[in-house]
Amino acid sequence: MKMIKGPALFLAQFAGDEPPFNSLDSIAKWAGSLGFKGIQMPSWDKRLFDLERAAEDLDYCKEVTDTLGKYGLELTELATHLQGQLVAVHPVYDEMFDGFAPEHLHGNPDARQAWAVDQLKLAAKASKNFGLKNVASFSGALLWPFVYPWPQRPAGLVETGFAELAKRWKPILDVYEEHDVNVCYELHPGEDLHDGATFERFLKEVDNHPRANILYDPSHFILQQLDYLAFIDRYHERIKMFHVKDAEFNPTAQQGTYGGYEGWVERAGRFRSLGDGQVDFKQIFSKLTQYDFDGWAVIEWECCMKHPEAGAEEGSRFVSEHIIRITDKAFDDFAGGEADEASNRRILGLGGK
């Protein structure tokens, strides 16, 4: 067995304009002081990281690594969620997703998509420069407006949507193959890849591409009422990344999985800080360890109640307590003994036959 690494922290929800969250050095110092051993980098946030430089400048990569190293931290992965989202956007969401791209691309979906594809390719190069093996992303979505079939979907709509999604992603995945890096899709409502069935459909369309993998986040499965433990049994070979995020689902007479357009505090399904929700992390860490997952346990803080700094501080301890120190011996070794083929045959009553 292998041992999960951590705790690590995804910086996307912490980066800001005020210290210590407005520069890589100061936010790294803060994270290190809380006991984190790694950080996952939002590749789109220029306050912390320059993706274009990292793809071309090894000296800059060393500068980033050295800055983190001062505080006992490693760079775990780059995240490209916003860019991945822009690979496939249904026109109904064009205006809302423009904010994920530079201002000069707003109102120009084709140019915005080309920029996003280039960003993903830069992330592959940058990851190779850092010696990283995985990049986090979203798949984007062409079919999400049609997720609930009313009116009934026209025949072939889903097939056409996934064929187009694969057509857009296949060249990107090929670049990742060239750089020996995986794309790990966070299976997330709002994305065409949001559960096991959609991931399998996508895999088929990209010819089971070896670089198409999974970022496992159980919180999204709690909200979908999916068996998040059996998911590990089924897909562990494709799980290359892990977001440690808690959630709860408390249906009422008024609402269930769709939430009734309520705010996050009022929803039946809501994200919580680690330990405050319903996710069985003891079983998750046990299953991932059983299947030799040796990636990072990365906290993604999203809580409708608790302050992010409290969530980070408590989360660091939570993950540290859940990582299983693997054993190098069997618990019943003390009762064993040396044996050979002859003694085994005698024990079985086979004598010298």
70 located within any domain: yes
Q: Residues near 232 by Cβ (< 8 Å), separated by ≥ 6?
A: 216, 239, 284, 287, 288, 291
CA distance 227 to 221: 7
Instruction: Give the orientation angle of helix 109-130 with respect to helix 58-69, to 10 degrees.
Output: 70
67 located within any domain: yes
83 located within any domain: yes
The parent domain of residue 69 ranges over: 5-347
CA distances for 244 relative to 50, 108, 169, 185, angstroms? 26, 36, 26, 15
Query: pTM of the predicted model, to two decimals?
Result: 0.95
CA distance 2 to 293: 6
Is residue 94 within 8 A of residue 37, CB to CB? The reply is no
Per-residue pLDDT in tens (0 to 9) along the chain, 353 residues: 899 999 999 999 999 999 999 999 999 999 999 999 999 999 999 999 999 999 999 999 999 999 999 999 999 999 999 999 999 999 999 999 999 999 999 999 999 999 999 999 999 999 999 999 999 999 999 999 999 999 999 999 999 999 999 999 999 999 999 999 999 999 999 999 999 999 999 999 999 999 999 999 999 999 999 999 999 999 999 999 999 999 999 999 999 999 999 999 999 999 999 999 999 999 999 999 999 999 999 999 999 999 999 999 999 999 999 999 988 877 777 777 777 888 888 889 997 66
CA distances for 257 relative to 120, 219, 228, angstroms? 32, 13, 16
Cis preceding-peptide flag for 210 (omega within 30 of 0): no
Question: Which H, E and C letters describe 315-352, residue by residue?
Answer: HHHHHHHHCCCCCCCCCCHHHCCCCCHHHHHHHCCCCC
Is residue 160 within 8 A of residue 143, CB to CB? The reply is no
352 located within any domain: no
Which pLDDT score, from 0 to 100, does residue 88 have? Answer: 98
DSSP states of 116-138: HHHHHHHHHHHHHHHT--EEEE-
CA distance 161 to 154: 12
CA-wise closest residue to 85 among 136, 41, 128, 48:
136
Report residue 18 as tokens: 């005020």
353 located within any domain: no
- The structural domain count of the chain equals 1
CA distance 159 to 142: 11
Burial class (CB in 10 A: 0-12, 13-18, 19+), 253: exposed
Is residue 37 within 8 A of residue 319, CB to CB? The reply is no
322 located within any domain: yes
Is residue 249 within 8 A of residue 278, CB to CB? The reply is yes
197: domain CATH number is 3.20.20.150
- Residues 137-157: b if buried by 16+ CB within 10 A, e if exposed: bbbbbbbbebeeeeeeeeeee
Which pLDDT score, from 0 to 100, does residue 246 have? Answer: 98
Measured torsion, CA atoms of residues 80, 81, 82, 83, in degrees rounded to the nearest 10: 50
CA distance 350 to 280: 48
336 located within any domain: yes
Q: How many CB atoms lie within 10 A of CB 272?
A: 21
As a residue count, the chain comes to 353
Which pLDDT score, from 0 to 100, does residue 336 have? Answer: 74
DSSP states of 25-37: HHHHHHHHHTT--
DSSP states of 176-194: HHHTT-EEEEE--TTSS--
16 located within any domain: yes
The neighbouring-strand residues paired with 247 are 271
CA distances for 209 relative to 74, 217, 306, 311, angstroms? 28, 21, 40, 36
